Structure 1
Amino acid sequence: MSMPFTKATIGEFFEEQARKDPNRDFIVYPDRNLRFSYSEFNDRVDDLANGLISIGITKGDHVGIWARNVPDWLTFLFATARIGAVLVTVNTAYKSHELAYVMKQSDMKAIAIVDRFRDVDYVETIYELVPELKTCKRGNLNSKGYPKLESVIFIGQEKHRGMYNTAEMLLLGKHSESEELDSLKGTLDCKDVINMQYTSGTTGFPKGVMLTHENILNNGYYIGERQKFTEDDRLCLPVPLFHCFGIVLGVLATLTHGGTLVMIELFDPLLVLAAVQKEKCTALYGVPTMFIAEFSHPMFKMFDMSSLRTGIMAGSPCPIEAMKKVIDEMNCKDITIAYGLTEASPVFTQTSTNDPIERRVSTVGTSLEHIDVKIVDSETGEIVGPNEQGEICCRGYNVMKGYYKMPEMTNRAIDKDGWLHSGDLATVDEDGYYRITGRIKDMIIRGGENIYPREIEEFLYTIEGIKDAQVIGIPDEKYGEIVGAFVVLKEGSKLTPEDIRDFSITKIARYKVPKHIFIVDEYPLTASGKVQKFKLREMAVELMEEN
């Protein structure tokens, strides 16, 4: 039987777990040799919550976090939820232009940052956007560009002019009265918004998705149920926390089952393999490109994967051959596939550990408990029959409150009957298993023929010597669009674009055969590991112009 809905807030739920099992590991950072039990972490969260209150943060305030998966990322997640503040998660790959937009659009009152990510110096970026930080008294920021912003917190020990750091915040909290925290807790409701995530903005500016305690805590629980999580599970989490994959599928699925999080600060296949072996992880998450990097690593066979049992592959369609390798060579016999979108908290269909392998490699499972799912004709809105393609929609406790300050966009996404429209194309079979066949806007229309990139990618993946393939539409005067493919070859493969085309012509309809094939070493990825197809389109156009 599935658990009835919890009406608890995230703070209440965590406190209950800490009471029940105080000494169990909650968070482990194997490369830092750092571990927090449920009880130790609960105390740290209380200290930070009190620290935030003492600098003027209260229920309903928006607090940004722009950071890698550092240990205190999770302290901020739980501390803001505990006082009813809204944590605004900022993509680590953002640069100053995108950060400026999110800080302003979200009405941030405070932002917590680390030192840097890859080529971006976060401290310098903040000073560039908010020069007043260097002269204003801490906590009394008066910024022309960001009138709502009052405080900047540096996650770490270093001191930066105009900023608090986490050590000070925790100390402030330890020495402050907790009456205000207790009274705030009493005012919280599970339907309060406590998390805001910005969708990547493939359609114009990013939109702030407002999610509640009820949305993400319950979704995390049912995601864990599909993997048969218990308190003995240890999840290796190498995906970024700023995304639902990290927070909901990872942190909250683990919390709701009393398990342990084994954190990876920044994805590296070797660190993941070492963490699984050292901490005897039972579950592993990632997007397909992460799993491929792990089992393709030259040192892969040196690591013991025998503790692994389950996990989730999500974020983009998984090549069937890659899935088989994860099951056979990485010992993830019970790996699951989850599907959803940020606006749906995010998961609304998932395979389960006892689904046959065929289902797990070819579908995204069945609808999660307490969520209605339907497939409709995108023109008429009518429900389509089994195995007929249409837009996949969902309705239930998991649907977002809306986009922040964007009522029109909200009404476009959620119809008057409460159905969230995904923009994805799918089919469902007679047994209720869903298959995602493409995005409405991903579809390539070549001279009137509808072509679904996923189908061609799956085909290309079967060609000996191809490690990965991404298919895109390239603008064309004659046909409107033609098919292009970017291919990563296996080590030692001598395949040429001509070889791939010649083989494809013998196997698939000619109009589906990629007209242009580009062999590359890697793809442009988002910070969460998804392939950026729009960048591939731009690259294709440039490469064709050069030739």
Structure 2
Amino acid sequence: MVFRSDHPEIEPVDLPIHDAVLGDLNGRAGLPALVDGVTGRTLSYAELDLAARRTAAGLAEAGVRQGDVVALFSPNTIAWPVAFYGATRTGATVTTVSSLATAGELAGQLRDSGARWIVTVSAFLPVATEAAAALAAEGRPIAEVFVCDEAPGHRSLADLAATTAAEPAPRIDAGDLAVLPYSSGTTGLPKGVMLTHRSIGSNLAQTDSVHATAAGERIIAVLPFFHIYGLTALLNHPLRCGSTVVVLPRFDLEQFLRTIQEQRIEGVFAAPPMVLALAKHPLVDRYDLSSVKYVLSAAAPLDAELADAAARRLGLPRIHQGYGMTELSPVTHVVPLDDPAPPPGTVGKMVASTELRIVSLDDPDTDLPTGQRGELLFRGPQVMKGYFGRQSETDAMLDADGWLHTGDVGYVDEDGYLFVVDRVKELIKYKGYQVAPAELEALLLTHPEIADAAVVGVTGEDGTERPKAFVVRAPGSELTGAQVQEYVAAQVAPYKKVRAVEFLDAVPKSASGKILRRELRARPSATGAPAI
């Protein structure tokens, strides 16, 4: 069966993304659009729009043409959106690069995307220039490396904006590529996700049906803009709504809490590691967070008990959740702020103009009804165009009828709420039984001496895959592996027991908060005898 959104259909947004976000400044030109959470520097909506237009003129004068690919390699700053909208105004596609990328990773993305231009910051220049040199050695030179701030030998955004050249006026089709983010690579090599102006603009309109920030509402932007969650939830959507985005370059808990207090932040978009800190870290009690009206978590599964603990500590009715993925521009589900009693653990209801099928893990040709778990398939205007230069991977993900196969496992209850259980590729098969890592991780986090945890399947010498827990002890704890195993065994079916435990200083995660399971599986201790 096909599950459909309860909300009225939207008209696809056939506008370039910069016009979909900043096209109408009536009533908000003088409002603060962006605030640097470190320095306090502010850009109004009129200033942001003008800066993007003049940057576009400078980029065009430098040689950036419609159809070019510009790599944006920078931490969150108030210059990031100037570079982004400036590039899209030339008709170029922006490939957003992780601020944690090494020179080799950046070179790989530049090579794969065909980027000819780099916009970065002075602190990242050693990485950017090394990557550019690697491509030059291959006969694929980068045309120019610009900086958002200042650096000798490199033109800055301010230099570009100082041009007297006319603003470019490309004829941008809504089906043109606007953004080329790369998938996280947690279950495979990173792939360029082709998102059009129509897909990301329409997804903003779809999201309005379940969540829209208010004009003047103050949002804290600490999740990275290079990730589609940050780009949509912390930049495009709130700016489209006339909100004020307070920007931080990275997640430092003390700075994050201090900024919420000083800037009187109302909306917090988070990933589960941030919710974990809000629930458990002693620093939280030192700051006045009473301005916060809601916290919305997405990007990875969030345990219901952890969410309740964070909500109680912040004095909120609940922590809201949302669901999506890069290939979906990214939003399909959100728990609305005005929902009086969403069931615990749900990621919400479908945004407008979205369809969902749940298919059997054993027989993908069989659709499942309400209440039964299977792989989630989506269709709607937010679905990606495909993976850049990877037709076979596109065909495996996106079928002929337009259904995108997420690889996520979940079910819908009788009221239309979606629950995401785990990833198909992350399910552990123990002697024929399916074990969901997210379920064991949620249980481990209820232990008072466990600060963080991850679970992966480890194959032993006998060929059997078993759950292994990677655990971060709470400060001062002397918790043993045997105690961890006993704690889990007392609360789960026998086939779900943790069979091995390894202690870490930190669980490896992507910038968006996803557990990097491939890194855990690649550890020397991940094969052979259990490490306890």
- 8 Å CA contact 1:45–1:76 kept in 2: the answer is yes
1:6 corresponding residue in structure 2: 13
Q: Please, which of 366, 369, 381 is the counterpart of residue 385 of structure 1?
A: 369
Give the partner amino acid of 2:345.
S
1:155/1:75 CA distance change after superposition, 3 Å = same
Question: CA-to-partner distance for each residue in 1:192-239, whole Å, 9 max, x for gaps?
Answer: 211000112345432110112222223234435533421132111110
> 1:38-187, aligned counterparts within 5 Å?
38-116=45-123, 122-131=124-133, 143-145=136-138, 147=140, 149-160=142-153, 163-172=154-163, 175-178=164-167, 181=168, 183-184=169-170, 187=171
Note if 1:365 corresponds to 2:348. yes
How far 1:458 moved relative to its partner?
2.4
Give the partner amino acid of 1:166.
L
1:401 corresponding residue in structure 2: 385
1:143/1:533 CA distance change after superposition, 3 Å = closer
> 1:236-275, aligned counterparts within 5 Å?
236-275=220-259
SS in 1 for 2:522: helix
Deviates more, 1:63-72 or 1:15-24: 15-24
1:299/1:130 CA distance change after superposition, 3 Å = closer
In structure 1, what is the Cα distance between the partners aligned to 2:370 and 2:155?
57
- 8 Å CA contact 2:83–2:157 kept in 1: the answer is no
1:314/1:546 CA distance change after superposition, 3 Å = closer
In structure 2, what is the Cα distance between the partners aligned to 1:221 and 1:234?
20
SS in 1 for 2:314: coil
SS in 2 for 1:427: strand
The TM-score with structure 2 as length reference comes to 0.92
Give 5+ residue unaligned stretches, structure 1: 117-121, 133-141
SS in 2 for 1:521: coil
> 1:500-519, aligned counterparts within 5 Å?
500-519=484-503
Deviates more, 1:392-401 or 1:207-216: 207-216
How far 1:528 moved relative to its partner?
2.5
Q: Please, which of 272, 279, 283 is the counterpart of residue 267 of structure 2?
A: 283
2:32 corresponding residue in structure 1: 25
2:418 corresponding residue in structure 1: 434
How far 1:128 moved relative to its partner?
3.0
The alignment's C-alpha RMSD in Å is 2.3
- 8 Å CA contact 1:209–1:403 kept in 2: the answer is yes
- 8 Å CA contact 1:14–1:42 kept in 2: the answer is no
In structure 2, what is the Cα distance between the partners aligned to 1:84 and 1:53?
10
Give the partner amino acid of 1:169.
L
2:3 corresponding residue in structure 1: none
How far 1:97 moved relative to its partner?
2.0
How far 1:170 moved relative to its partner?
1.8
Question: CA-to-partner distance for each residue in 1:464-486, whole Å, 9 max, x for gaps?
Answer: 43333211111112352111112
1:541 corresponding residue in structure 2: 526
In structure 1, what is the Cα distance between the partners aligned to 2:292 and 2:61?
43
Note if 1:326 corresponds to 2:328. no
In structure 2, what is the Cα distance between the partners aligned to 1:466 and 1:127?
41
In structure 1, what is the Cα distance between the partners aligned to 2:341 and 2:504?
31
How far 1:337 moved relative to its partner?
0.9
In structure 1, what is the Cα distance between the partners aligned to 2:192 and 2:471?
34
2:473 corresponding residue in structure 1: 489
1:138 corresponding residue in structure 2: none
In structure 1, what is the Cα distance between the partners aligned to 2:172 and 2:89?
9
2:504 corresponding residue in structure 1: 520
How far 1:145 moved relative to its partner?
2.2
Note if 1:376 corresponds to 2:376. no
Task: Identify which of structures 1 and 2 has the higher relative contact order when contacts are C-alpha pairs closer than 8 Å and 6+ apart.
Answer: 2
Give the partner amino acid of 1:474.
V
Give the partner amino acid of 1:440.
V
- 8 Å CA contact 1:334–1:353 kept in 2: the answer is no
In structure 1, what is the Cα distance between the partners aligned to 2:279 and 2:486?
29
How many residue pairs were aligned? 523
In structure 2, what is the Cα distance between the partners aligned to 1:480 and 1:345?
37
In structure 2, what is the Cα distance between the partners aligned to 1:14 and 1:502?
53
Give the partner amino acid of 1:364.
V
- 8 Å CA contact 2:13–2:205 kept in 1: the answer is no
Give 5+ residue unaligned stretches, structure 2: 1-6
> 1:199-214, aligned counterparts within 5 Å?
199-214=183-198
In structure 1, what is the Cα distance between the partners aligned to 2:353 and 2:141?
38
In structure 2, what is the Cα distance between the partners aligned to 1:126 and 1:353?
41
The TM-score with structure 1 as length reference comes to 0.90
1:220/1:336 CA distance change after superposition, 3 Å = farther
SS in 2 for 1:463: coil
Give the partner amino acid of 2:350.
S
In structure 2, what is the Cα distance between the partners aligned to 1:222 and 1:331?
30
Give the partner amino acid of 1:41.
L
In structure 2, what is the Cα distance between the partners aligned to 1:349 and 1:427?
13
1:190 corresponding residue in structure 2: 174
